[in-house]
Amino acid sequence: MRDDLALTSIESLYFNHHVWLQAWLRRRLGDTHRAADLAHDTFVRLLTRQGLGPLHEPRAFLTTVAARVLASHWRREQLERAYLDALRCLPPALVPSPEERALVLEALQQLDELLDGLPAPVKRAFLLSQLDGLTQRQIAQQLNVTERTVRRHLTRAAEQCYFADVLGVGP
């Protein structure tokens, strides 16, 4: 019964505010198609959310959720640009196929979501360890911190990834 109420609430939000939300996103993006996609993503996010109760300010609520979806979109675009820039530095013989690129990009986006919310030095230490294979001593030298700090950073990042997986949060 509760799920039916939540669905009805989301249906009502969609029916009453979808056009407005899409226009709000279009003004920020300058792209009708991308705005439609992100409006859709906003409502999908609401469908996966637990406990959507009565809303006194539905547009303010939708704006908040859509702003988070938009921030995620921009972060994914930035990550993709950085990855493609890195690929341009590779010799042609080492450039991965389009399928491999898509898989790597998806994995990078999932990793970015898992590490979301961690301070930049913690993320950087984790990535230097996991992607570049650096030792804790090398990471400490590169980040100009102690090895003990690197261990704390790596533990914090690993805990975030572990608990996101255990709790079903993230990708």
Confidence at residue 1, expressed as pLDDT on a 0 to 100 scale: 40
Tokens matching residue 67? 């702003």
Alpha helices in 89-119 (DSSP H): 98-115
State how far the Cα of 33 lies from the Cα of 21, in Å rounded to an integer.
13
Tell me the fold of 96-171.
Arc Repressor Mutant, subunit A (1.10.10)
Confidence at residue 145, expressed as pLDDT on a 0 to 100 scale: 96
Which sequence spans correspond to the domains of the chain? 1-91, 96-171
C-alpha to C-alpha distances, 155 to 22, 53, 123, 127, 163, nearest whole angstrom? 41, 36, 11, 13, 12
3-class SS of residue 57: coil
Q: What is the pTM of this model?
A: 0.66
Tokens matching residue 109? 């986006």
Walk along the chain (171 residues) and give the pLDDT tens digit of each residue: 444 445 557 888 899 999 999 999 999 999 999 999 999 999 998 888 766 677 788 899 999 999 999 998 998 898 889 888 888 988 988 999 999 999 988 988 888 888 888 999 999 999 899 888 899 999 999 999 999 999 999 999 999 888 776 555 554
In the chain, DSSP finds a helix count (H) and a strand count (E) of 7, 0
Residue whose pair of structure tokens reads 């993709």 in the numeric block: 80
Confidence at residue 139, expressed as pLDDT on a 0 to 100 scale: 96
